[in-house]
Chain A
Amino acid sequence: MDNKITEKKRVLRRRVRDFCEREIVPIAKEIDQEASFPWEVVDKMGKLGYFGIQAPPELGGAGMDTLSYTIVIEEISRACGALGLCTSVHNSVALFPILAFGSDEQKKRWAPSLARGEKIGAFCLTEPNAGSDASGIESTAIRDGDHYVVNANKALVTNGGVADTCLIFTRTDPEAGRRGISVIVVERDTTGFKTGDLENLMGMRANPVASIRLTDCRVPKENLLSKEGMGLKIGLAALDVGRIGIAAQAVGIAQAALEASVHYANQRHQFGVPIANHQAIQFMIADMATEIEASRLLVLQAAKLRDRNKPFSQESAMAKLFATETSSRVTDKAVQIHGGYGYSKSYPVERYYRDARITRIYEGTAEIHRMVIAKGVLQQY
């Protein structure tokens, strides 16, 4: 049975890679430079199940496990970090909370169109005064009969420019502190829903990151996910899963940088030999490959624990911390190996370098992860 599972993962990686190399790699540079969202490819990805990797088949998904999810995200990110981000966020922090905390009615209402990629999801937690400290949320959702009246100013929303189904973290009880935060699903066509200008980002430029402003949006009370006051619990559960995806994304970007560096090092001659013959380059390649493999194994461990229904918060935090910092180190070395050309847009490593940088910030900064990990470790011994 183990062999069959291994074989399934191998086929999955190969087929996703085939798709990404044919459909995404050729446009990755252009969509980065033009900061454009590739709807045509996204549509194909939706039909192939990339937007509902873990959603059950009866809700339009592929019904795969977390390990498969990390393989798909890694491979998409190897081709294009921004699309890896789009799919990771959509699958983990937008669709997963609906599947995990939604009623049957809510799942039937929102999950199929998200799982098939017909609609894009977004996780709207960050605000001008709330990020790592989610308890600083100032958005409000005040009950008015059978509706909530939502006012929110959400910042730096991944997929924000294109998202149809948005999970809004908001205060249903402004007096209740952390316990007054709830999640309300607001759809793009709701009156009062407005997207701000797209952020002009350093990397991940093909992802339409934008602010979302909700002004007196009246949404039915049935759009409340789970119960009032469950917001932070839903958010933290989603981020635990999301971190595995971001870690896989970081591995994918680093892998692309490693492969580009190996090709370049074998082809570029200096002092009469390929630069790959120089020990200085070999040591960088060795460190890059080793750290990527270690990151991939941390991702694998977190994913396997989740698939076995074991606690995985600590492991997902470790995977995210290590993989994202690895991705920054590896892409930095990739630029170094490419020399001056690595700083030019003629080669893809400058994009990998820019894309990798944000992975250390979103879905929990490296500093927050160190706090989370330290808290666990300090209680352990």
Chain B
Amino acid sequence: MKLNIIVCIKSTVLHASGVNIIRAPELSELNPFDLPVLETALLLKKKLGGSVTALSMGPQEAGASALCEALAMGVDKAVLLCDKALAGSDTLATSTALGAVIAKLDQFDLVLFGTRTCDSDTGHVGPQTATLLDLPFISNVNSIEQIDTGLRIERMLDEYMETYEISPPAALTIHPNSVQPRDISLMGIQEAFEKDKVKTMSLADIGLSPEQVGETGSGTKVLSMKQVSRKRICDFIEGTVEQQSDELLECLKKKGIIG
């Protein structure tokens, strides 16, 4: 079974000084949580055949740059949804828009997302888009394997692994530690940026009205955002090396950092 996979990626903001975020390319980068997702899709394609399409929503330059990185990694197609009316979209409006693009794209078997983004960090877009598209959804996926009846999916929980069987189409979020993403080669970067392979779509192309997205299509609105500085406390551990390491281990366990 060949799999046609859509990977939703985001150009995330590196710095924010207030509620009005500037999505300039020099202040943006491809969401690091999306890299293992792209890697998962590319490995599935290598194993089973099919195609990988990267999809993003955002401003022209930053969005296209993130998609070029996906192309440099090896995806086949890149689609950017770009429209001024999308500005101010919350996760619901974003999911509405992405769902409308996905419905317009060629037939797909899997829609993959990162578990979250490094800027807004909500984790909403994957499950919301799956709901709007009426797709079965599994989060924090660690591995995907083909079986006679469809796909066997393993899902990571803190100390447990759940196993599912699904028949595509389905939507999944990929656990960030599931796979080490490949390094992007210079050849990949050169080709991705030289050949204009990013297809840009507007709201009109996907049959949505401006009211369905942006601030009017959003269920939530950010009222304020301010930086919170955390006080850092430095504790000195005394004793022999063995005592120090025991105490450090105990301390890390208590804080839930190690199990």
Partner of B61, one of A3, A12, A18, A47: A3
Looking at chain B's contact residues, the main secondary structure is helix
Contact of B186 among A4, A6, A7, A49 (CB under 8 A): A49
Per a CB cutoff under 8 Å, which of A11, A44, A57 touches B189? A11
Chain A residues with a Cβ closer than 8 Å to the other chain, count: 27
Min CB gap B180→A, angstroms: 10
**Interface flags, A50-74, vs B, CB<8A=1, else 0:** 1001000100011110001000100
A18 cross-chain contacts in B, Cβ below 8 A: 183
- Name the A residues within 8 Å of B26 (CB-CB): 10
- Shortest A52–chain B CB gap in Å is 8
> Chain B: which residue is nearest A69 at the CB level?
B186
Q: Contact between B25 and A72 (Cβ–Cβ < 8 Å)? A: no
- Say whether A278 faces chain B, with CB atoms less than 8 Å apart: no
Inter-subunit contact A11/B190 (CB<8 Å): no
State which of A6, A10, A14, A62 has its C-beta within 8 Å of the C-beta of B185: A62
B residues contacting the other copy or chain, number (CB 8 A): 18
Per-residue CB contact flags for chain B residues 217-240 toward chain A (1 = under 8 Å, else 0) read 000000000000000000000000
Asked if residues B185 and A11 are in contact (CB atoms below 8 Å), the reply is no
Instruction: State the CA gap A72–B186 with chains docked (Å).
Output: 9
A26-50: CB near B (< 8 Å → 1, else 0) gives 0000000000000000001001111
A343 in contact (CB, < 8 A): no
Closest CB-CB distance, B41 to chain A, in whole Å?
A: 19
Known: A47-B185, A48-B183. A10 touches B190 (CB 8 A): no
Does A19 lie at the interface of the complex (its beta carbon under 8 Å from any beta carbon of B)? yes
- Cα distance A53–B69 when bound, in Å? 18
A62–B186 CB distance below 8 A: yes
* Interface: B184 (CB within 8 A): yes
Instruction: Look across to chain B and name the residue whose beta carbon is closest to the beta carbon of A61.
Output: B187
A340 to B191, CA, bound (A): 48
Chain B CB within 10 Å, residue with most, of A5, A7, A12, A63: A7
A6 vs B26: C-alpha distance in the bound complex, in angstroms?
A: 9
Complex contacts, A15 vs chain B, CB 8 Å: 69, 72, 183-184, 189
Q: Closest residue to A18 on the B side, CB-wise?
A: B183
Q: A3-B61, A4-B193 are in contact. Are A10 and B186 (CB under 8 A)?
A: no
The answer, among B29, B185, B193, for a CB contact under 8 Å with A48, is B185
Q: Mark B57-72, 1 if CB is under 8 A from A, else 0.
A: 0000100110011001
> In the complex, what distance in Å separates the CA atom of A49 from the CA atom of B13?
29
Report yes or no: A8 in contact with B189, Cβ–Cβ below 8 A.
yes
Give the shortest distance, in Å, between A68 (CB) and chain B (any CB). Answer: 8
Q: Once bound together, how far apart are the Cα atoms of A50 and B29, in whole Å?
A: 22
Q: How far is the CA of A251 from the CA of B91 in the complex (A)?
A: 43
- Most chain B CB within a 10 A radius of its CB, from A8, A18, A19: A8
Beta-carbon contact of A12 and B187 below 8 Å:
no
7 closest residue pairs by CB, A with B? A49-B186, A62-B186, A8-B193, A48-B185, A7-B65, A15-B184, A62-B187
Can you list 13 A-B pairs, Cβ within 8 angstroms, ordered by A? A3-B61, A4-B64, A7-B61, A7-B64, A7-B68, A11-B65, A11-B68, A11-B69, A12-B186, A14-B29, A15-B183, A48-B185, A53-B186
Beyond the given A5-B193, A7-B64, could you list 14 further A-B residue pairs with CB under 8 A, ordered by the A residue number? A6-B25, A11-B69, A11-B193, A12-B189, A14-B29, A15-B184, A48-B184, A49-B186, A49-B187, A62-B187, A62-B189, A64-B190, A68-B186, A68-B190
